[in-house]
Every structure is written in C-alpha cells, then in structure tokens.
Amino acid sequence: MLFFRRNNNGVKPTDNIYLIVGLGNIGKKYDATRHNIGFMAVEELAREYSCAFKNSRTGKGEESSVNIGGNRLIFFKPNTYMNRSGDAVAAIMKYYKIPKSKLLIISDDINLPVGKLRFRAKGSDGGHNGLWNISNRIGGDDYARLRIGVGTPPEEMDQADYVLGRFLSAEKTAVDMAITRAADGVKIWMNNGIEAAANEYNGL
C-alpha cells in the first residue's frame, strides 16, 4: 500500500497541484446515497490526512488541501448538484490553474457491481450527467476518472430513485472496502499514473 510522507517543514505549496473531485449532491437528505459515493471517497481522503473541508474560494463547493512531498492535493466537493458539476469543476480548475492532466473525478456507476472500481484515463460519460456536464464545461473527456460501482437498479425501480437511495445494510462491507480502495488508488494515481491505478484495482 502506497502512502505519502506529510510535508511538515513549512514549505509553501508548489505549482504541482492535483485536484481530486468527488461527485454528489449537497444536503443531508443526500448523505450516504449511492449517487454520493464520490463525496464519500474524498471525505475519506481528507480524513486520512486530517484536513477539514471549508467553503471553496470559488464559491462553488467545499475544498480541503494538504501538501505532501512537494505536491499539493486538493479534495473538492461541488455544491452545484450533480447535473451542474462541470460549473464547479471548471471554476476551481481556473482558480488554481490546474490542467486536465492533474484532474481526477470520482463518481458512482450503476453499470458496475457494488464496490467495484474502474480507473480510466479518459472516455465517455456513460450516461452519467455529472461527467457529461464536466466534459462539456472543461472542453473534452480527456481527464482521469474513477468510477465506483453502486449496482444496477431493479427493473421495476426508477433509476433516479435508485441512485438517490441509500445502500442496503448487506452492501455496507463492500461499500466501505470500495471507499478504502478508492483512497489508496488515488495515491497510486498520484505516484505512478492512471494505468498503475487501473492495473492494481480494476480487476478486483
């Protein structure tokens, strides 16, 4: 398992900034829902590094940051709701001058079993409205993403109701493990790139 050494020597952040965005919807009624697993993943990363979320300087979400080994990691949760995630992502990328090569988006995926991870260097939105809006707002789909499986809706259930619902108690172990693996996978992406993260986790 890869970990970073925390930079405690007072060195100022460099321009080597990485932006990790977890997608979700704001508000207590959406907490811990399937659609918010991106939020859950970046919250786990912030917890590991003991850095608290605060209102973003862009006004379009909450951010948390840590300086590690000469790199600055920014964890971000948009407050624009899922369908307008691109507005928030574009704003924070512009504010910190972050290129798409240093961006990772974490989202839910109904086409993957609960707890399965899929790292990709780029690709289509796969019908995910948050990813669709991001691709349109930042000028293309050539950015890294991590999809976390939340399972497929039952045939008789509306897709929106399903993703806005909470996980079953029987799924808790798989969800917790997925969030832990997602956090570790982000570290591998940082150190060794998206292909290394995919090789490590996509087959599990």
In Å, how far are 47, 69, 83, 103, 133 from 4, measured between CA atoms? 14, 7, 33, 18, 32
Residue 19 · residue 74 · CB < 8 Å: yes
Q: What is the mean pLDDT of residues 102-111?
A: 97
* pTM, 2 dp: 0.91
Q: Which residues are catalytic?
A: 35
Q: Rounded to the nearest 5°, which phi and psi values hold at 144?
A: -70, 145
CATH architecture, domain 17-201: 3-Layer(aba) Sandwich (3.40)
Domain ranges in the chain? 17-201
Copy the structure tokens of residue 39: 């939020």
Q: What is the average pLDDT value for the chain, to the nearest integer?
A: 92
pLDDT tens-digit map of 147-196: 999 999 999 999 999 999 999 999 999 999 999 999 999 999 999 999 99
- Tell me: the pLDDT tens digits for 1-44? 333 334 433 334 446 899 999 999 999 999 999 999 999 999 99
Distance between start and end Cα atoms, the chain: 15
